[in-house]
Amino acid sequence: MLKKSFVVNKNLYSVYKKNKNKKYNYQKVLWSSKISMTGRYWLLNKLIKNKSYNNWLDIGTGTGDIYKYINKNKFQNIDALEPINHLFKIVKKNNSDINIYNQTLSNFKIKNKYNLVSCIGVIQNCGSSPLLFLTKVCKIIQKNGYLYLTSKNINWAKFKSEDYNLELDHSWFDIEEIKKILKNNNLKIIKSDGFLPKEKKIVNYKLSHTFFIWARKN
C-alpha cells in the first residue's frame, strides 16, 4: 500500500526519551521550533473556526500546548491520548478539564465515536504500521465527523536538489497514498495540500516538507 512513502520503524518510547530533559515543550515533542509546532495548531483552528463539535480526540497530544491555541469551549468533550509517560504528566498537570489517557491508540478502548480527530505529526511516530494506525483512526470517527492530519512530505520539490537530502531516520509519506487509505475507509477528502507552518501558509504540496489533510467521514 505504501510503495512511494518511506517508513522507518521506530521504538516509540526511545524516540521521545532522548528529548525528555530539553528545556522547551516543542523540543520535548520533537518539533524544530515553537512556531513550527504552533503553526499546525493555527491551521486546525482555521479549519474548525465556524463549527462546533461534541467530541474531540487528539491523538499524540504531547505536552498539551495545543489547548492554548484551540477554543476548548467549542467542544462538549475532549479526550487526548499520550503514551509517553513524561509527556503525559505534563499535559495532565496543566489540563484538568480534559480526559487524558496514557495509552496508544491500539490500546485505547473507545466508548463513543468522535466527530473530530486530530493527528498532528503523529503517523511518522505512531509506533505501529501507518496503515493499521490510519485504519483504526477512520473507524473511530462518526458519520460526518472530521479528521485533521499533518505529516512529513516525501514529494517536497527540494529533495530533488543536491542541497537537500531525505533524512533517513524519519518517515516520509506520499500524500496520495495516505489519501487513498482514508478514501478506502469511507472518508472524503475536503482539503489537502502543502503547508508552511512558520509562515502559516497553504501551498502546493510540492513546495513544503509538510502536508495536511482535512477529511470527512461519509
Structural domain contains residue 171: yes
Q: Is residue 7 part of a domain?
A: no
Answer whether residue 27 is part of any domain: yes
187 in a domain, yes or no?
yes
Q: What is the pLDDT along the chain (218 residues), one digit of tens a residue?
A: 689 999 988 888 888 999 999 999 999 999 999 999 999 999 999 999 888 889 999 999 999 999 999 988 889 999 999 999 999 999 999 999 999 999 999 999 988 999 999 999 999 988 788 999 999 999 999 999 999 999 999 999 999 887 888 888 889 999 999 999 999 999 999 999 999 999 999 999 999 999 999 999 99
Residue 121 domain boundaries = 12-217
* Total domains present in the chain: 1
Q: Is residue 154 part of a domain?
A: yes
3-state secondary structure 145-201: EEEEEEEEECCCHHHHCCCCCCCCCCCEECHHHHHHHHHHCCEEEEEEEEEECCCCE
Residue 6 is assigned to a structural domain of this protein: no
Instruction: Report yes or no: 192 and 202 within 8 Å, Cβ to Cβ.
Output: no
Specify if 5 maps to a domain.
no
CATH code of the domain covering residue 84: 3.40.50.150
Residue with grid cell 504500521, as numbered in its chain = 129
Task: Say if 64 falls within a structural domain.
Answer: yes
What residues contact residue 47 under an 8 Å CB cut-off, 6+ apart?
146, 148, 191, 214
C-alpha cell at 102: 496514557
- Exposed e or buried b for every residue in 151-161, given b needs 16+ CB within 10 A? bbbbbbeeeee
Indicate whether this model's pTM tops 0.85.
yes
Instruction: Say if CB 56 and CB 118 are below 8 A apart.
Output: yes
Distance CA 17, CA 78 (A): 26
